[in-house]
Structure 1
């Protein structure tokens, strides 16, 4: 098997190479568009309906591809040229967001259209994120994966959670069609940059093998590798709880915190400062505390932050809590993604990524649905405010239980730089 960097053009001397620099730039631009969408889509939904169940259904539909399509798309990524997958998915998202802008401009926008676009966008996002993680070991060496993932995570936080939502709030204030027009341009530019990546086309995997056999091969590797299996299951429950909490967050922001569109974007912006700090500090925290303690801190911090959010009535308090939670959450991502990229063979990485993400992200649509139902039930029992606070506090309770479980599952001996010591772990 070729080394991870054998197909990459020479580095540009800045440590991670010209190829990574171009991937990082495309990632930055695309995530700016995603950040804008994170405000524009739910705000558009509230202009079409005030029903919490119908609003949460958008999240259900957008996340459904993680559950339904992660496995087959992972096999496709392993067979295909990663650069082509990235380009196609970026341009597909550009076309869809342009379609939303056109529907708004012509007065033909409807909730059904929003649901359909959400599903297709979610499908393209599944393929895009899988390919982004799978191509990275071909652009940087294994000893630089932690650093590369940290830079990508900082970029994601800075523009996707920090700058993007704030810009989205400003653009929504101009007109609802404007943020979607900007999104289309950003995704189109990202696709062009990825098309120019200085990486030789990847030799496709043999297509004579059945898709089922290839998926089974990836599943066996994942399930027999206990650290990967435990991390995937833990993240699945964590993301389920997170989806419950955020399913109706736009209504929480509007009705409990009293925020307008610009202020809602600022809430993300302030909250993401901690995310950026956490991503930058992850190598230091891991070297001082060890990965196990950092991951446990992430769970404890998330549970505590949700308790504060669920009881708060002021945007600044909520932003502060989210800032701490985001920093610890991104530390979890950097540590676990880098670990996965180091220990999974390149030919299996797309499939293992898809299985990992099926387990960890597949519960998102269920969480969104539960969030909407909890608001409805809480509202019936104690009024609108109690209803909107209920899913946040329930999520905090679930993550607290998860922390207790993780104390025994995330053992100190899980981690090594290669992961080879654990590949035969059948426990």
Structure 2
């Protein structure tokens, strides 16, 4: 017990045997409750706290229904084979890629606040539909499309949100780490909650999580107004450019962009994001690390549920439990970014984090043991958890706020589209070589790509920044 400060006067506390008058007890209980509410309100008074809380609720709904809900219903309730599961994931990924691309100009034009409010509203309606409507392949395909769109738009908006609040590098590193920590906690809570629900109720009841989690997230987002006004709301393009050059001291080195939402057209806005990304060596390298590093992971989307069923011989609930273990690793990885000195947070560190994911995936699928699968998921989660805030912080540091939405969308399109091609070939490779062999080969490919990027970024550290 810590010592009391000298000279302090303390009233005697009632012991367990002392009877406390009702009026005093009521006052103390009311005071404690008011203190708890005041603490919560004080915490949520900060915009970064509301962003983190809204991201947690959004990801809670999305993570709960992806593996346990959509894939679980298809695999266990509908008896789907690898081709059907692949087609569901393909629909999700196509919508994810398309809407990630579309989200960038929207965020730059109207801001992440309005973009997220609409996205969360659609999620709430879709969750109710999945919960209450009769289960069918048509419903699963529709939910996969909505979830892919929500992932694309919601994640892009959340990645850009902190940059609309501040341009301070330390602030961005801290908030990005906390945002991704919230995502990792949702990866634990969402599938775990989904696994708990499907253990006692029909699998389709899992979709209710997304419906109810989205409602408070809408309120949190709507109360968090951007401090940097989105381009469509500025009086003139000159004002937009002025606001976009308030970066962290290296604005002259950044490629400049015209404000989004102008008369040039939506396709021109998309092309502008690609141009900005490709003209900067640092942004271009970040894009390639995401695209090439995540390419092989497309095989997991179509084969992972079959790995649980046919190799691990585990029930649907284990899809939730192992995803939750990955979330534990992700939480630790995201929090670890807070401890990395700013000068060390570079492309080489990002490449090393990718290597951790590859090695963790090899452990995850390398045996038929659930125990080793748990270890692999934990290690893999560590790498993914650290990669998210690192990649986002490095991206934000290399572009001004006038085009942060478009550049963020290009980065996400690179990662999300990387896994589309393996979706087509993974089922046929699994028929020829087996599910486990294909997944282990994909994991090895990730590790090899990561080693190559570690070597390249170390030799070009100065030019990459």
Q: 8 Å contact 1:40–1:169 — kept in the other structure?
A: no
Q: Secondary structure at the match of 2:133?
A: helix
CA–CA separation in structure 1 for the residues paired with 2:265 and 2:107: 15
Q: 8 Å contact 1:37–1:180 — kept in the other structure?
A: yes
The change in CA–CA distance for 1:341 and 1:17 in structure 2 (over 3 A counts) is farther
Q: Which moved more, 1:86-95 or 1:184-193?
A: 184-193
CA–CA separation in structure 1 for the residues paired with 2:204 and 2:384: 32
What's the offset of the Cα at 1:269? 2.0
CA–CA separation in structure 1 for the residues paired with 2:58 and 2:269: 30
CA–CA separation in structure 1 for the residues paired with 2:418 and 2:392: 19
CA–CA separation in structure 2 for the residues paired with 1:44 and 1:212: 37
Show CA shifts across 1:26-78 (max 9, x none): 11111111221132221111121331111122111101124334333322222
Show CA shifts across 1:237-285 (max 9, x none): 2222112124221221122222223333221222322222121112334
Q: 8 Å contact 1:298–1:325 — kept in the other structure?
A: no
Q: 8 Å contact 1:86–1:128 — kept in the other structure?
A: yes
Q: 8 Å contact 2:113–2:225 — kept in the other structure?
A: no
After TM superposition, the structure 1 = structure 2 runs for residues 136-175 of structure 1, keeping only pairs within 5 Å, are: 136-143=162-169, 144-159=171-186, 161-173=187-199, 174-175=201-202
| Match of residue 44 from structure 1 | 73
CA–CA separation in structure 1 for the residues paired with 2:316 and 2:451: 38
Q: 8 Å contact 2:180–2:334 — kept in the other structure?
A: yes
Which structure has more relative contact order (CA 8 Å, sep 6+)? It is 1
Show CA shifts across 1:121-146 (max 9, x none): 21232122222222211224423111
Is residue 329 of structure 2 the alignment partner of residue 274 of structure 1?
Answer: yes
Show CA shifts across 1:109-128 (max 9, x none): 22132112211321232122
CA–CA separation in structure 2 for the residues paired with 1:177 and 1:263: 17
Q: Which moved more, 1:239-248 or 1:198-207?
A: 198-207
After TM superposition, the structure 1 = structure 2 runs for residues 176-191 of structure 1, keeping only pairs within 5 Å, are: 176-191=203-218
What's the offset of the Cα at 1:103? 1.7
Q: 8 Å contact 2:294–2:446 — kept in the other structure?
A: no
The change in CA–CA distance for 1:393 and 1:125 in structure 2 (over 3 A counts) is same
| Match of residue 347 from structure 1 | 402
Is residue 374 of structure 2 the alignment partner of residue 316 of structure 1?
Answer: no
User: What value does the CA root-mean-square deviation take over the aligned residues?
Assistant: 2.5
Q: 8 Å contact 1:225–1:422 — kept in the other structure?
A: no
Q: 8 Å contact 1:61–1:115 — kept in the other structure?
A: yes
Q: Secondary structure at the match of 1:258?
A: coil
| Match of residue 89 from structure 1 | 119
| Match of residue 405 from structure 1 | 452
Q: What is the aligned residue count?
A: 393
Which of 261, 280, 283 is equivalent to 1:225? 280
CA–CA separation in structure 2 for the residues paired with 1:250 and 1:323: 18
The change in CA–CA distance for 1:275 and 1:82 in structure 2 (over 3 A counts) is closer
| Match of residue 241 from structure 2 | none
Q: Secondary structure at the match of 2:46?
A: helix
CA–CA separation in structure 2 for the residues paired with 1:284 and 1:18: 22
The change in CA–CA distance for 1:286 and 1:402 in structure 2 (over 3 A counts) is farther
Q: Which consecutive unaligned segments of at least 5 residues does structure 2 have?
A: 1-40, 233-259
Q: 8 Å contact 1:374–1:390 — kept in the other structure?
A: no
Show CA shifts across 1:134-183 (max 9, x none): 22112244231111011111111112x21211110111121223211222
| Match of residue 265 from structure 1 | 320
After TM superposition, the structure 1 = structure 2 runs for residues 299-310 of structure 1, keeping only pairs within 5 Å, are: 299-310=354-365
What's the offset of the Cα at 1:395? 0.7
Q: 8 Å contact 2:180–2:389 — kept in the other structure?
A: yes
What's the offset of the Cα at 1:91? 0.8
Q: 8 Å contact 2:261–2:269 — kept in the other structure?
A: no
Which of 238, 251, 255 is equivalent to 2:310? 255
What's the offset of the Cα at 1:396? 1.9
The change in CA–CA distance for 1:300 and 1:177 in structure 2 (over 3 A counts) is closer
- In the superposition, the TM-score normalised over structure 1's length comes to 0.85
Q: Which consecutive unaligned segments of at least 5 residues does structure 1 have?
A: 1-11, 379-386, 416-420
What's the offset of the Cα at 1:315? 1.3
